[in-house]
Amino acid sequence: MTPIAERPTTRDAIAAVLPELGGHARVCANGFISRWVCALGDDEASFYMIGSMGLASSIGLGIATARPEVPVAVLDGDGNVLMNLGSLAMTAVLAPANFRHVVLDNGVYASTGNQPAISASVELEEIARAAGYRKVARVGHVADIVPELRAQLAEPGPTLLLIETQPESGPPAPRIPYTPPEMTARVSRAIERLATVGRGGESAR
Amino acid sequence: MHAGSLSGVELAGALRARGFDFFTGVPCSLVASLITALEPHGYVAETREDAALGLAAGAALAGRRPVVVMQNSGFGVSLNAIGSLQDIYAIPCLLVITWRGYQGNDAPEHLVMGEAMPAILDAMHIPWRELGVDAASAAADVAWVRARLDEKPGPVALIVKPGVLA
């Protein structure tokens, strides 16, 4: 594992991955992951979970299964993955080619005060690999994020990129400004638009 | 316990006739015939009931009308997902929940939830009714669910008592 001081912060990791995931429906795990995605690159294709901890991957899998023509990315946290390990198995079994899993692993429950999580001792990407994800990788330096993510995006999913991060020391990201029903309406519209793009891409081939 | 006159195929047909088109859940013996009837329509055998609610929420965001099938033990597992996902985000979902522990007549592990379930459904403001015992009343129940979801998207439950489904 990468020494803590060399790792990107959650904010820096999200700033690196977001530009690569344009054209994806993005499901963002509750807590600082949703808040940083909203602060750094808000748009309608991002669904911000404020509760239902653990279910970001299940929600993303539901979108990916229902709409195979829509690229889907789940921006997940280590605590969320640990809470719903069965989702790694479910994802591997359904094996949607349009599903990308990005796990930000800071080894703590940041939103509640940085209490330690057992992810510091468990290689979550290896659980995904054993379950049957098509490609998994672990990175711990900010310069490695984009090349590894692009390599995964060039191949069919499901893929999982685990990014080792360090807990934030700066000011926290602001809270999500939308009501939950607003977020539902926004992402539903965005998925519809992405589906039209996806179908257009199919017929053009 | 009377023998059920409603078949899984009839209930699946009633669900599909009202536009439900995404099926997932975790099994219970009381709805075995329903799950068998849903398998040709893409039923996803989930690992946990709350994960099934996550999957169903994603499908609903993508324009589908989901149904999640579960035992009431799994309803207990699902409470946070129902409350902090389907409910507050106004994401439609039909819950088909079996009533194990009905009238205290079941294995010990089902008795606490069997007694508490109606009060929990009411406390969480989940519209619910018991599933009827024949094809005509089941079709009416599914129509009632669809009307509730069209009025106010969120969780709505049909409760399946022992012996209802053949």
Give DSSP secondary structure letters for A77-99.
EHHHHHHTTHHHHHHHHH--TTE
User: Is the confidence at residue A63, as pLDDT, over 90?
Assistant: yes
Pairwise pLDDT comparison (A119 vs B88), residue with the higher score: B88
Burial of B2 (0-12, 13-18, 19+ CB in 10 A): exposed
**Where residue B7 falls among pLDDT bands split at 50, 70, 90?**
very high
Q: Which DSSP state fits A76? A: E
| Chain B residues with beta carbon closer than 8 angstroms to that of A63 | 58-59, 61-62
Three-state SS at B52: helix
**Shortest Cα distance, chain A CAs vs residue B2, angstroms:** 37
Cβ contact B58–A27 (<8 Å): yes
The pLDDT mean for chain B works out to: 96
| Chain A residues with beta carbon closer than 8 angstroms to that of B46 | 86, 90
Q: Where are the domains of chain B?
A: 8-160
What pLDDT was estimated at residue B3?
57
**Where residue B155 falls among pLDDT bands split at 50, 70, 90?**
very high
What pLDDT was estimated at residue A172?
85
**Separation CA A185–CA A176 (nearest Å):** 15
**Shortest Cα distance, chain B CAs vs residue A205, angstroms:** 24
| Chain B residues with beta carbon closer than 8 angstroms to that of A180 | 88-90
Q: What are the beta bridge partners of residue B107?
A: none
Could you tell me if B133 lies within 8 Å of chain A, comparing CB atoms? no
| Chain B residues with beta carbon closer than 8 angstroms to that of A55 | 50-51, 53-54, 57, 81, 85
Cβ contact A180–B54 (<8 Å): no
| Chain A residues with beta carbon closer than 8 angstroms to that of B64 | 66
Cβ contact A191–B61 (<8 Å): yes
The model's pLDDT over A93-143, given as tens digits with 9 standing for 90+, comes to 999 999 999 999 999 888 888 898 898 899 999 999 999 999 999 999 999
Q: Give how far Cα B110 sits from Cα of B76, B79, B114, Å.
A: 11, 17, 6
**Where residue A199 falls among pLDDT bands split at 50, 70, 90?**
confident
**Shortest Cα distance, chain B CAs vs residue A71, angstroms:** 12
User: Is the confidence at residue B29, as pLDDT, over 60?
Assistant: yes
The helix or strand, by DSSP H or E, that contains position B96, with its residue range, turns out to be strand B93-98
User: Is the confidence at residue B136, as pLDDT, over 60?
Assistant: yes
Whether this model's ipTM surpasses 0.90 comes out as yes
Cβ contact B62–A62 (<8 Å): yes
First to last CA, chain B: 12
**Shortest Cα distance, chain B CAs vs residue A55, angstroms:** 5
Kindly give the residue spans of alpha helices, DSSP state H, lying in chain B. 8-17, 32-38, 49-61, 72-81, 111-123, 135-151
Average pLDDT over residues A68-77: 98
Cut 0.90: pTM above it: yes
Q: Where are the domains of chain A?
A: 4-204
| Chain B residues with beta carbon closer than 8 angstroms to that of A70 | 62
First to last CA, chain A: 43
The model's pLDDT over A33-53, given as tens digits with 9 standing for 90+, comes to 999 999 999 999 999 999 999
**Shortest Cα distance, chain A CAs vs residue B153, angstroms:** 10
DSSP letters of B116-133?
HHHHHHHHTT--EEEPPS
The helix or strand, by DSSP H or E, that contains position A135, with its residue range, turns out to be strand A135-139
The pLDDT mean for chain A works out to: 94
**Shortest Cα distance, chain B CAs vs residue A3, angstroms:** 34
What pLDDT was estimated at residue A1?
87
Task: Look up the CATH superfamily of B8-160.
Answer: Thiamin diphosphate (ThDP)-binding fold, Pyr/PP domains (3.40.50.970)
The helix or strand, by DSSP H or E, that contains position A124, with its residue range, turns out to be helix A124-131
Cβ contact A51–B62 (<8 Å): no
CATH number assigned to the domain covering A4-204: 3.40.50.970
**Where residue A203 falls among pLDDT bands split at 50, 70, 90?**
very low
Three-state SS at A3: coil
Cβ contact B55–A65 (<8 Å): yes
| Chain B residues with beta carbon closer than 8 angstroms to that of A89 | 47
What pLDDT was estimated at residue A113?
86
